[in-house]
């Protein structure tokens, strides 16, 4: 399908010899704890690619969805073209939605028991307290499942009390004790379980409890299914770098997927230590990331070691985009050094932290409307922008500028593209290295200045 074309457009034009050719890019997307099916992922990507094309005055063509034979990978191709540039992208989704669905199909009592046990462990060993020190919003967010369960429990207690009192009025004095207690407990339990089913599912309480349960097992090495899946992802990454003929590979880890991406890269480099020196630029993009959710746990030595190992690799470029309005990421917190950190500085080593300022990406009206839609804001880093901004996921995926160059420019694509969507010539584009000098406050992206104020 072709998106972003003007009416009656015949599609993408034939390449012109003077055009800027971005080469071939592979984007490997590793999602978080998300049961979304592949048809929806593909449809959303095509729809958002159309919005990206309209915003940046370019065109994009997205192929049909296909699946790698006998591999947990679904993919599609995209061709994008601006006034003086073109780019070919393969977008591969590393699938573990079946693992999420299997967790979701468990009995309610299993979900409650295991989810609460995981939350209790994170609270007992002080990890939850460290979340509050790292970033207040995530600390509050981690209390969400507990708060909802307490609300449902109070509703069940009130309903049970009312039912017990009602039975007490109906039965003769002296005969209401045990029946009232039995009815009260039964009604209270039914109300609690009913609320847990709905609106618990609609409020993503089930997903949250499953996520904490999986996090605990992953930390303690008790998730063989996930370990096997990540090993297959690593094999796929190695094979595509060796044989895919790509100029650039970007591994995108979103939410929990950011932590899993570290393991994938560690395994991939263990299989092929020269992977980053085979002529294909290797990059890691983490967004909406929750790496410190694991790293701040006392038993997360393996996760901390993986993050440190990837951060020290000179043959891989790692950038993390963080958003203040996203309560599910650790804003202005370095996922390797585990300390508060500023944007656009190499002081802490990789990853370089960048600001994905939602105020610049979507309208204030939309941001206000989504204020309490926590998960929707969490996914904005994977969607097309309404306005041209320093962070643009689809420009990273479909644009002609290499990932490292896009991250290094002062205002991302705004500094590199003209109003008509063409790439600015080198003489007119800002000097990337000078523009991103973290020692000069005036050189920082406007979103970083705004957030620091």
User: Residue 169 to residues 157, 175, 186: CA-CA distances in angstroms?
Assistant: 18, 11, 18
Q: How many CA atoms lie within 13 A of 307 on its CB side?
A: 27
Distance set, CA 148 to CA 70, 145, 253 (Å):
40, 5, 28
Task: Show the DSSP H helices in 220-290 as ranges.
Answer: 224-243, 256-271
Question: How many angstroms separate the CA atoms of 236 and 11, rounded?
Answer: 32
Alpha-carbon distance values, 162 to 158, 166, 191 (Å)? 6, 6, 12
| Cβ-contact 62, 45 below 8 angstroms | yes
| CA atoms lying within 13 Å on the CB side of residue 299 | 12
Given this model, what pLDDT does residue 336 score? 98
In angstroms, the CA 322 to CA 343 distance is 9
Query: What are phi and psi for residue 28, nearest 5 degrees?
Result: -100, 115
* CB contact at 8 A, 157 and 186: no
Residues 6 or more apart from 224 whose CB is under 8 A from it? Answer: none
CA distance 317 to 404: 7
Q: pTM of this prediction?
A: 0.91
What's the confidence (pLDDT) of residue 24? 98
Q: For 224-363, list the strands marked E by DSSP.
A: 248-254, 281-287, 317-322, 352-355
Residue 189's nearest CA partner among 159, 220, 226, 232 is 159
The Cα–Cα gap between 173 and 199 comes to 38
**Helix/strand/coil (H, E, C) string of 100-140?**
HHHHHCCCHHHHHHHHHHHHHHHHHCCHHHHHHHHCHHHHH
The answer to whether residues 356 and 391 touch, using CB atoms and an 8 Å cutoff, is yes
Q: Which pLDDT score, from 0 to 100, does residue 19 have?
A: 83
* CA distance linking residue 50 with residue 43, whole number of Å: 11
- pLDDT score for 435: 37
Question: 104 with 213: CB under 8 angstroms?
Answer: no
Burial of 339 (0-12, 13-18, 19+ CB in 10 A): exposed
Question: Mind listing the pLDDT tens digit of every residue in the chain (453 residues)?
Answer: 555 443 333 456 554 555 899 999 999 999 999 999 999 999 999 999 999 999 999 999 999 999 999 999 999 999 999 999 999 999 999 999 999 999 999 999 999 999 999 999 999 999 999 999 999 999 999 999 999 999 999 999 999 999 988 887 777 776 666 788 899 999 999 999 999 999 999 999 999 999 999 999 999 999 999 999 999 999 999 999 999 999 999 999 999 999 999 999 999 999 999 999 999 999 999 999 999 999 999 999 999 999 999 999 999 999 999 999 999 999 999 999 999 999 999 999 999 999 999 999 999 999 999 999 999 999 999 999 999 999 999 999 999 999 999 999 879 999 999 999 999 987 666 544 433 433 333 334 444 444 443
Q: How far apart are CA 86 and CA 15, in angstroms?
A: 8
pLDDT for position 166: 85
> Is 27:89 a contact under the CB 8 Å cutoff?
yes
């Amino acid at each position: 399908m072709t998106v972003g074309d003007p009416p009656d457009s015949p599609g993408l034009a034939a390449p012109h010899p003077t055009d800027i050719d971005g080469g071939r890019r592979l984007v490997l997307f590793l999602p978080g704890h998300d049961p979304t099916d592949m048809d929806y992922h593909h449809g959303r990507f095509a729809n958002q690619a159309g919005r990206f094309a309209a915003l940046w005055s370019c065109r994009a063509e997205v192929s049909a969805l296909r699946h790698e034979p006998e591999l947990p990978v679904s993919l599609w191709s995209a061709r994008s073209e601006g006034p003086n540039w073109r780019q070919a992208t393969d977008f591969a989704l590393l699938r573990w939605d079946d693992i999420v669905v299997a967790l979701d199909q468990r009995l309610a009592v299993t979900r409650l028991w295991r989810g609460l046990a995981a939350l209790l462990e994170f609270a007992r060993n002080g990890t939850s307290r460290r979340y509050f020190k790292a970033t207040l919003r995530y600390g509050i967010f981690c209390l969400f499942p507990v708060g909802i369960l307490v609300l449902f429990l109070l509703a069940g207690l009130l309903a049970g009390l009312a039912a017990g009192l009602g039975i007490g009025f109906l039965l003769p004095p002296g005969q209401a004790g045990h029946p009232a207690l039995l009815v009260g407990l039964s009604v209270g339990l039914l109300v609690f379980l009913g609320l847990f089913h709905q609106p618990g599912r609609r409020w993503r309480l089930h997903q949250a409890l499953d996520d904490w349960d999986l996090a605990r097992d992953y930390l303690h090495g008790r998730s063989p299914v996930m370990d096997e899946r990540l090993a297959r992802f690593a094999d796929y990454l190695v094979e595509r770098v060796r044989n895919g003929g790509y100029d650039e590979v970007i591994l995108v880890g979103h939410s929990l997927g950011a932590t899993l991406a570290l393991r994938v890269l560690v395994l991939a480099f263990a299989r092929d230590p020269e992977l980053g020196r085979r002529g294909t630029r290797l990059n890691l993009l983490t967004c909406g990331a929750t790496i410190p959710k694991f790293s701040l746990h006392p038993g997360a030595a393996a996760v901390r070691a993986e993050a440190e190992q990837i951060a020290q690799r000179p043959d891989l470029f790692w950038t993390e985009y963080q958003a203040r309005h996203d309560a599910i990421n650790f804003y202005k917190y370095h996922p390797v050094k585990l300390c508060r950190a500023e944007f656009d500085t190499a002081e802490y080593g990789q990853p370089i932290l960048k600001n994905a300022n939602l105020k610049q990406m979507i309208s204030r009206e939309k941001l206000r409307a989504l204020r309490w839609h926590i998960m929707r804001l969490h996914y904005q880093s994977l969607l097309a922008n309404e306005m041209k901004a320093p962070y643009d996921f689809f420009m990273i995926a479909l644009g002609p500028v290499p990932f490292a160059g896009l991250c290094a420019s002062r205002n991302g694509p705004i500094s590199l593209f003209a109003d008509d969507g063409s790439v600015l010539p080198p003489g007119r584009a800002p000097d990337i290295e000078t523009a991103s000098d973290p020692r000069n406050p005036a050189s920082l992206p406007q979103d970083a200045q705004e957030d620091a104020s």
